[in-house]
Chains A and B, each alone.
Chain A
């Protein structure tokens, strides 16, 4: 009896939070609008920039979600690399279809995340960082070492493009716009899952876990399972984006998945604002567009990004999204002061 009322209370509470959450229709509309962009923009370079922004948004938002559970994640590149390599190997060595290989790559990565997560997520903060970073570097050594399987330091060449879209045989990925639509679908799918997770009971639990580990545990929340769940889901989604990356660029090498990738993701997330769901989306978009100015000068790009990271942490701790709030507050306070003058 008590259990059922408790359940009803919880359902009501969840409904209340969900009122503020956007419905799937919002995501569908945004997705549709984004998908129509190639009709207007036909320049391949612009499409390429948009595609790379989109899969980086997937990386960054999954990275942010793991940060939200209170873990310093330094192995995003490890799991993205697992996704890219396993998908590329499944397609080139076993001849699987891309549409099968991508989810399998996600599952492999999620399984690895569970295997790594169970012993390490128990450890506080920085140990997790050490171990995930170590994992990423170890995998790079493995890729280089086992040349016959992973192609060594040169990587895997001529990964085929995805075969034509199921049920739509005229979408055969001979054009950039086809990749563009796929990247939009993948991004919106990922963002929708993360959004639902954040606005559901799960999101509240992660908030509780981050704020007070011990308190949440004393209330009967099994932190470990939730942390591992979040870690596995995010790693799987990031790996699917990694698989997309492999088939989009036709070529992967160990140096694509170095610690620098994770550092970039950390910069995008923090600069955008890690507390806000839209923060890393905005951060990734703005920084990657700005980074195009320095395309080809990788060191100047990293110099700008890391300099910006330092400035943001010192002067705008909640990231670029907080500019919106600050402007809003300025306007409301100026409106208040004029109202006071009038009175």
Chain B
């Protein structure tokens, strides 16, 4: 193997891993804080990509304006859904999982009806390629990597350093005790959903120029996010980051040496064996 080839593979692994980390980030946050596996995450991701298409490509807004606008719109939608649907059944985790499944496929089929079947292309403002040590990466992918890493670090700092983050961690520890200390459960849940859905939208907006966008893109993203957060340990943000890069590395190397379709099987077998040996994932802790 040549030097440049090794670097190229590492960079590919890194870029795929960053996309997956960004995808799984919102979902792992919602699981870590509220113990909710929010399957409709995929639909939020899809909606984010479509806001990029409609606001950016159709309306011609600047990409730098589309990002905050899209995050805000989808985040508000997430809060609305939480208030209307999740809040009445907050303590029934099984019901929430099935509700979120219903929501995901409801929004997906609505997407087919509203947006149409035809895949939509989104223009990127980041053109050209970046050369690192003889390897090439397109700028649009490089931006995803950078923003993805920033988002992970930002969320981690937010949870660990800010007052709201402290409130969220307290809520995750013991919701009732947190309420007694004056931490409103309702606001924490709303904030969690705003951030979670906003992160899904961010992933969608950033990924839209790299991939083709269709209404079904969300369902596949849910499966990838599940694999990432399952391998990383449910609810652990650093774990999700590590496992996203491991899966990215398997995918990059597998695609280079075995072909794209075998790779999927490799990832799956790896995750199964890893979880069979260590059921809590890489950084997960056993929880009841």
Contacts and interface: CB of A to CB of B under 8 A. Distances in A.
A310 B265 contact: no
Contact of A302 (B89, B109, B272, B279): B109
B182 to A, nearest CB: 30
B219 A306 contact: no
Nearest to B269: A138
Given A133-B226, A303-B109, A122 B279 contact: yes
Given A126-B37, A134-B223, A299 B279 contact: no
Contact of A126 (B95, B105, B230, B262): B230
13 contacts: A119-B272, A122-B276, A123-B275, A126-B226, A130-B227, A131-B275, A137-B223, A141-B262, A144-B261, A260-B105, A302-B105, A306-B106, A317-B95
Contact of B89 (A142, A260, A300, A313): A313
A305 B104 CA distance: 12
Given A126-B234, A313-B89, A313-B102, A134 B271 contact: yes
A317 B96 CA distance: 11
Contact of B262 (A133, A145, A305, A307): A145
A238 interface: no
B102 A310 contact: yes
Interface residues of A, number: 38
Contacts of B92: 317
Given A120-B275, A314-B88, A307 B106 contact: yes
Contact of B109 (A124, A138, A144, A299): A299
B109 A133 contact: no
Contacts of B89: 313-314, 317
Given A299-B112, A310-B99, A263 B268 contact: no
B226 A72 contact: no
Of B112, B226, B271, B273, the most chain A CB neighbours within 10 A belong to B226
Interface string A98-124: 000000000000000000000110111
Nearest to B265: A138
A141 B265 contact: yes
A309 interface: yes
A259 interface: yes
A270 B99 CA distance: 10
Interface string B88-121: 1100100101110111111011101100000000
B156 interface: no
B226 A310 contact: no
Interface of B: 37, 85, 88-89, 92, 95, 97-99, 101-106, 108-110, 112-113, 219, 223, 226-227, 230, 234, 261-262, 264-265, 268, 271-273, 275-276, 279
Interface string A51-69: 0000000000000000000
Contact of A129 (B226, B262, B268, B271): B226
A120 B276 contact: yes
A142 B265 contact: yes
A138 B263 CA distance: 10
Contact of B261 (A129, A145, A260): A145
Given A126-B230, A141-B261, A314-B88, A266 B275 contact: no
Interface string A287-312: 00000000000011011011101100
A195 interface: no
Contacts of A137: 223, 264, 268
A133 B223 CA distance: 8
A300 B113 contact: yes
Contacts of B104: 306
A243 B80 CA distance: 44
Contact of A120 (B101, B106, B219, B272): B272
A223 interface: no
Given A134-B268, A310-B103, 13 more contacts: A120-B275, A122-B279, A127-B279, A129-B226, A131-B230, A134-B272, A138-B264, A142-B265, A263-B101, A309-B99, A310-B99, A310-B102, A313-B99
Contacts of B223: 133-134, 137, 259
A303 B101 contact: no
Contacts of A259: 219, 223
A68 B273 CA distance: 26
A131 B272 CA distance: 7
A130 B226 contact: yes
B105 A306 contact: yes
Contacts of A119: 272-273, 275-276
Given A119-B276, A306-B109, A134 B227 contact: yes
A300 B109 contact: yes
Nearest to A139: B265
A267 interface: yes
